[in-house]
Amino acid sequence: MPNGGKLVLGIDLGTTSVKVIILSTETKQIVAKQSKEPQANVPSDLGIEGNKQDVPKILSAVHNCVSRLPKYLLRQVKSIGICGQMHGVALWKTTGSPEKEDGIFKLEIDRQSVSHLYTWQDARCDKNFLRILPQSKSHLPVHTGFGCATLFWFARNKPEKLQKYDRCGTVQDLLVNLLTGSDEITMSTQNAASWGYFLTDQAKWETELMANAGFPVNLLPKSILKPGQVAGKLRHPWFGIPAGVPIGVALGDLQCSVLALLKEPDEAVLNISTSAQLTYVHPSFDLNDCPESGSIEYFPYFNDKYLAVAASMNGGNTLATFVKTLQHWAMDLGFSVPQSKVWEKLIALGKEESAVSTMEIEPLLLGERYDPDKTASVTGITLDSLNLASVFRSLCSGVIRNLHNMMSQDLLKAKGIKRIVGNGSGLVRNPVLQKEVTNWYKLPLELGQSGDAAFGAALAALASN
């Protein structure tokens, strides 16, 4: 990349990893990238019902990734695009932008000034709790793990926790706020919709309804922006990026992944990483025609369009749990097997056609948002299917069959979808899953080459310039 070229920095705060890329505005190619797993999960006092992450660790991972990018490229960055995991909520106190130490800007926040990030996997809001919440007029239902549901839970169970803070947002909104140093918290319609109690057609919270039910509406972001709008400017130089560079309002990682991958309107995107999503851009979504319940939901995308999304809680996490279980069984028997070896063997065995059996696994360890009480089950076991190859193949088939039950092959074809673009480490690294996608959907599967949400965030920032 010659000096003087215009570049964009893209950042994605994912559930398990932070990714940053530098994109050339001329070639639309990634010229540098870094990633880091922040290992940010924190044990919850609610046990398996809670799911939270350490915010300073996530910020430290971002700082670390940016610091490892070439300085001569960072000096050419003209704008910054940021996205991250949807639905989750963090609370913090007004601190302004972190100040420079020894002339160097450090991306951090005092631990006393910020809560944990309560993620999309948080299950503290059971169906009985959700049932007593006020009825939203939004076309999007409210589920456990959604920001507003989590805040309602704190308001009713641990109100003292909320009194420590004066603002809240997704973790990517916090990142934007720290980089700009703004007094005002901005939020995109994408992230606001992912919290619930948000009217997407009016771009506003249902504040009156929520306040009457005891919700701390004073904490909610007041400034709601469209995807692509600028939230503010970089307050301090950052590893060579000049101060004053515009920073886009934080976006959803799903929308940014789709933006990075889709080339034609007749494509759907299948992302399998921690969870799993199958989605397509709805050509003419009408709020009035939205079904009241079901497994497909419609989230704001770009340019006033919507994504039709079948979002499963059970994706790569289900397969990872199986791998860990095998490891524990081996240890119980006195053997130690590295995780990488387990994966290698499972994929080699599962690829064989002889692994196909009558066994059916419904791998719903986490239930589903539309049916949280669902659990995992196995049927069709025979004497000749009790082998590792058949079990793993059936598990992979079950992950895809579950998505197919939510968004079927017939539905995709009715919408004119002719191809599926695959993305996410859970799918890209697993040829057994890839076989099952083709088996269930009978559509060509192409693995995306540039599907990272960080790439999409950079593209969105580029489009807004």
Locus of tokens 């456990």: 144
Q: What is the pLDDT of residues 84-133, one digit of tens each?
A: 999 999 999 986 556 666 667 889 999 999 999 999 989 899 999 999 99
Q: How far apart are CA 338 and CA 273, in angstroms?
A: 21
Q: Distance of CA 69 to CAs 9, 36, 59, 238, 240, Å?
A: 10, 13, 16, 11, 10
pLDDT of the residue at 101: 62
Q: Is the pLDDT of residue 4 over 60?
A: no
Integer-rounded Cα radius of gyration of the chain? 22
CA-CA-CA-CA dihedral for 11, 419, 271, 261, to nearest 10? 0
Mean pLDDT, residues 208-230 taken together: 97
Q: Provide the mean pLDDT of the chain.
A: 93
Q: What is the pLDDT of residues 220-245, one digit of tens each?
A: 999 999 999 999 999 999 999 999 99
| 218 CB neighbour count, 10 Å cutoff | 12
pLDDT of the residue at 225: 97
Q: How far apart are CA 253 and CA 277, in angstroms?
A: 11
Q: How far apart are CA 59 and CA 172, in angstroms?
A: 10
pLDDT of the residue at 2: 45
Q: What is the pLDDT of residues 169-179, one digit of tens each?
A: 999 999 999 99
Joined tokens for residue 388: 């590792």
- Pairing relationship of beta strands 267-272 and 419-423 according to DSSP bridges: parallel
- Pairing relationship of beta strands 186-188 and 223-225 according to DSSP bridges: parallel
Smallest CA-to-CA distance from 231 within 179, 299, 195 is with 179
Percent of all residues in the chain with a pLDDT value above 90, rounded to a whole number: 84
pLDDT of the residue at 283: 78
Kindly indicate the confidence band of residue 425, based on its pLDDT and cuts at 50, 70 and 90. Answer: confident
DSSP conformational letter for 42: E
pLDDT of the residue at 284: 82
Joined tokens for residue 116: 């944990």
Domains of the chain with CATH codes: 7-249 (3.30.420.40), 261-449 (3.30.420.40)
Question: 278: which strand partners?
Answer: 270, 310
Q: Are 89 and 153 in contact (CB under 8 A)?
A: no
Kindly indicate the confidence band of residue 139, based on its pLDDT and cuts at 50, 70 and 90. Answer: very high
Mean pLDDT, residues 421-435 taken together: 94
Angle at CA of residue 430, ends 38 and 374, nearest 5°: 80
Q: Are 126 and 157 in contact (CB under 8 A)?
A: no
Q: What is the pLDDT of residues 269-301, one digit of tens each?
A: 999 988 999 999 997 888 877 765 578 999 999
- CB under 8 Å to 92, separation ≥6 — which residues? 55, 109, 113, 114, 115, 165, 167, 168, 174
pLDDT of the residue at 1: 43
- The model's pTM is 0.91
Joined tokens for residue 93: 């106190």
In DSSP notation, 291-321 reads -SSSSEEEEE-STT-EEEEEEES-SHHHHHH
Q: Is the pLDDT of residue 314 over 60?
A: yes
Length in residues, the chain: 465
Joined tokens for residue 83: 């996205």
pLDDT of the residue at 411: 94
